[in-house]
Every structure is written in structure tokens, then in C-alpha cells.
Amino acid sequence: MSGRLAGKVALVTGSTLGIGAAIARLFVREGARVVLNSHLHDDAARRIADELGSERALFVQADVADPPAVQAMVDHAGARFGAIDVLVNNAGRNFFNDPLALTPDDWRRCMAVDLEGAWHCTRAVLPGMLAQGAGSVINIASVHGHKIIPGCFPYPVAKHALIGMTRALGLQYAAQGLRVNSISPGLILTEAIEASFAASADPAAERAKQADLLPCKRIGQPEEVAYTALFLASDEARFINAADILIDGGRSQLYHE
């Protein structure tokens, strides 16, 4: 352990699986005390909490779309570990549909989790960060916040807005020592992606097809996103603010499909 986050307290939402879990594990290895979060207290939550141990990690169940629950989570974290230095807004859900087939409830839930949830969490930690004159907020956006894929509405709307919020808040609080940045992953081999491959008619062929679309001819790993979050969370990135970092193997720069 190199201790790049030694002495820091981090809250990582949606951190029981996939990218969020990879970030939580890496942050603990680098010396942080980490508040784990999910809207469910399920087997995945229990596994990662047990793995990381109660001295370095605390699991708090909370729906990021519920502001009182978010504030209670931040208060609980503060009572246990102290003020939060790093917030990673990773919690999110995929909502892909034809615009006219989308129900009002699905629209509201997409915005409530993928956009408003990040704001609720940021709003809850801002007073503590401002009081200590330092803090790093990292929003997990998406390549969908840069490029549009038909049939994926309204997810790209939320992710475009999340990147906009990143820039606005980063500039708003820069002079007070806060940094707000985002990461936009492309295709990353999470449990959800593995499940989608497994549900296809030929999982191996589908995996190979998706890998072949990428310039590097392989699918990204959650740890590769986690290391970028680690850099942004650390003092090494103290002059990076209101920025978005694409992690997609170069896919979004291709001229054609």
C-alpha cells in the first residue's frame, strides 16, 4: 500500500458491485476509510463489507434519490469516520428505451438516480468540505454523456447533465479548495455486462463482437476506472478541476462504427 489516500475519508455510492466496488477496494488499499453504499442491503453489500473490514469500511444503505436518506448517510459516516474528503457519485441505473415508449415514472426514476442522486450526495457533503477548505467530488458519468446511441433514451440526457453539473460546481467552488471532476467510462466488464453477454444467443460471439469494436480490441476492466478515480481523489490531481476523463479505449474517437 502506497498510501495515496492516507488519512482521507471517502464515500462511494453504488459501491457493492462493478466499478463502485473496484473503487472502494482500491481506496481502502491506498489508506482511505471508505463508506460503502447501496440502495439494497443484500449479499453483495455484506460480502464487500466483510471483505474490507469494519476498521476501514462502513456500509450504509441509502437510496441516493432520497435526500433525507442521503443526509442521514453522511451524518452516520461523519460520526464514524469524520468529515468526508472524497465523494464518488457512482450509483446509477441504465434506462434505455424508445422516447415515446418511455413511461413518466421511468423518466423520473432515471433523472432521480442518475442525475439528482449525484446532486443530493454532493449537496450533503459540501458544507463539510467547505469548512475544511478541501474536497474532491468525482462523478461517474459515461460515454453516453458525449455520444448518442439511438434507443438509449433517456440515459444520455442524465449523463450529459451530470457532466454539466460537474463543470458548474467545479468552477463554483474552485476558489474554496474544492475540485469536482467526472469520469466517463465506455464498455467496462462489470457484473451487469457479463449478465448481458450471458443472456445473448452466443455469449462468446457477443463478447468478441463488442471487443472488436474497440481500437484496443479488448473490454475495459473496473480496476482501470478505479485507478483514474484514485488519481482524481488524491492530492496528485490538485490542479485538475471541472474536467471529464473518457475511459473507453479510444472508441468514442472513431470516425465510423
Active site residues: 155
Are 19 and 190 spatial neighbours (Cβ–Cβ below 8 Å)? Answer: yes
Q: Peptide bond preceding 154: is omega within 30 degrees of 0, i.e. cis?
A: yes
**Cβ count near 1 (within 10 Å):** 9
Are 120 and 48 spatial neighbours (Cβ–Cβ below 8 Å)? Answer: no
Cα distance between residue 209 and residue 194, in whole Å = 14
- Strands 135-140 and 86-89 come out as parallel
Are 149 and 97 spatial neighbours (Cβ–Cβ below 8 Å)? Answer: no
Are 182 and 141 spatial neighbours (Cβ–Cβ below 8 Å)? Answer: yes
95 by DSSP, 3-state: which? coil
